[in-house]
């Protein structure tokens, strides 16, 4: 998805940064679990996973269509449809994917 893609990045610390999570894993100490739970309790709001809703999926899919990434657009629209099978925008988006794909193949 366009606005949440993450690329694997290498760092100079063999995949371990200075955050409490990585340090707990690196140290492999018995109290690592307690450290992690404390960290997550303190950082709860910041660490929550972002869950896309059907509208975000639709708009990200339309961005993918404009970039010519029809497979990704289709996947996002299907996810939006799973959230709400009656969401009309999903069908509008799938129509757009199909239309642009046909036009591209003809041209």
Residues 43 and 84 in one domain: no
Q: Is residue 9 part of a domain?
A: no
What are 59-76's pLDDT values in tens digits? 999 999 999 999 999 999
Q: How far apart are CA 18 and CA 59, in angstroms?
A: 36
Determine if the pTM surpasses 0.75: no
The domain boundary, picked from 5, 31, 48, lies at 48
Helix/strand/coil percentages in the chain, nearest 5: 65, 0, 35
Q: 58 with 84, same domain?
A: yes
Range of the domain at 22: 15-48
Please indicate, yes or no, whether residues 74 and 58 belong to a single structural domain of this protein: yes
35 and 65 in one domain? Answer: no
Contact at 8 Å (CB) between 70 and 100?
yes
Tell me, yes or no, whether 61 and 31 share the same domain.
no
The yes-or-no verdict on residue 31 having pLDDT over 60 is yes
38, 48, 52 from 57: Cα distances, Å: 33, 18, 6
Residues 21 and 42 in one domain: yes
């Amino acid at each position: 998805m366009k606005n949440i893609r993450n690329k694997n990045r290498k760092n100079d610390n063999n995949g371990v940064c200075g955050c409490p999570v990585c340090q707990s894993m690196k140290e492999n100490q018995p109290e690592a679990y307690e450290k992690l739970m404390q960290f997550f309790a303190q950082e709860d709001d910041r660490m929550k996973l972002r869950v896309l809703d059907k509208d975000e999926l639709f708009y990200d899919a339309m961005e993918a269509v404009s970039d010519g990434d029809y497979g990704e657009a289709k996947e996002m629209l299907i996810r939006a449809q799973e959230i709400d099978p009656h969401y009309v925008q999903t069908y509008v988006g799938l129509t757009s994917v199909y239309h642009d794909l046909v036009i591209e193949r003809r041209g």
